[in-house]
Amino acid sequence: MIKVLVVEDEDIIRKGLIGTIDWLSAGYIISGEAINGQDGLEKIEKYKPDLVITDIRMPVMDGIEMLKKAQEKNLKFEKIILTSYGEFEYAQEGIKLGVADYILKPIDEDVFYDALKKVKEKIKKIETFETVQDIIVKEDETEFFNPKIYLGKEKDKNRYVDKVIEKIISSYAEKLNIKDIAEELGVSTSYLSRKFKDVTGETFLDVLNKYRIQKSIKLLQKQEYKIYEISEKVGFTDYKHFCNVFKKYLEIAPGDFAKKSIIILK
């Protein structure tokens, strides 16, 4: 669950927001509330929320000042600003502070739920990318995906499945499909597909694509090839399809991934 802190000096708005929104269904949980910026800053330090929803105009310390001080303390969280004001200066300050969205009062619930959905997607992408940043490549193995884990499994071991895994590892850059491999092994496509799913818990195409994406990681890090060239080198005949599959598994486009620093051990 995504932890939320609501900072609002008007009691009726703060309590109404906490009580009327279906937070749990949206994937959120209220971790605390605060009545002004100073109180909010203390609660941010105490509860470490993932999302802070704050008013701008508040006594003691306003919302913008609270966010600035939290940033100075290197406290990281997503931000939604509630405001009745449309002044450009506030928008400018909010942009600098990385505010995810602005919600005008009185609050429109549909608009608010849309903002929560956007923040949730952003948090998910950040979490996924932080996981990706920890990928360590050693020889031919990565923490993202290595089909060798399925080879020689005692439980549900099947020699035909082993052959398919070996084929994926050796020929991932070629045109592969389960039907042709089944014909090579002298078994039916339905039997091989079923046994493959029994052993790996995934379809042939999923395992093949995940391994291809794993292989593309090293090529992206070398920065020696264009993305469409990498797509071809790892077995994708369609560049757009490669980008879609990469983003499906890593929640980031290959071009953006290439710009980030991933630790590689050689």
pLDDT in tens, 30-52: 999 999 999 999 999 999 999 99
pLDDT surpasses 50 at 141: no
Q: Where does residue 103 rank: exposed (0-12), middle (13-18), buried (19+ CB within 10 A)?
A: middle
Measured distance CA(92)–CA(83) in Å, rounded: 14
* Pairing label, strands 137-138, 141-142: antiparallel
Tokens 């590689």 belong to 264
* Confidence label for 88 from pLDDT (cuts 50, 70 and 90): low
Judged against a pLDDT cut of 80, whether residue 112 lies above it is answered with yes
* Residue-wise pLDDT tens digits, 101-111: 888 888 889 99
pLDDT grade, residue 244 (50/70/90)?
Answer: very high
| Tens-place pLDDT, residues 166-178 | 999 999 999 999 9
184 pLDDT above the threshold of 50:
yes
The dihedral region occupied by 201, where left means phi > 0, alpha psi between -120 and 50, and beta the remainder, is: left
Q: In sequence order, which residues have a C-beta less than 8 Å from that of residue 168 and are 6 or more positions away? A: 147, 176, 207, 208, 211
Please provide the distance, in angstroms rounded to a whole number, between the alpha carbons at the two ends of the chain.
38
Average pLDDT, the chain: 85
pTM of whole model > 0.75?
no
Q: pLDDT value at position 265?
A: 31
Domains parsed from the chain with CATH numbers: 2-132 (3.40.50.2300), 137-265 (1.10.10.60)
- Model confidence at 14: pLDDT above 80: yes
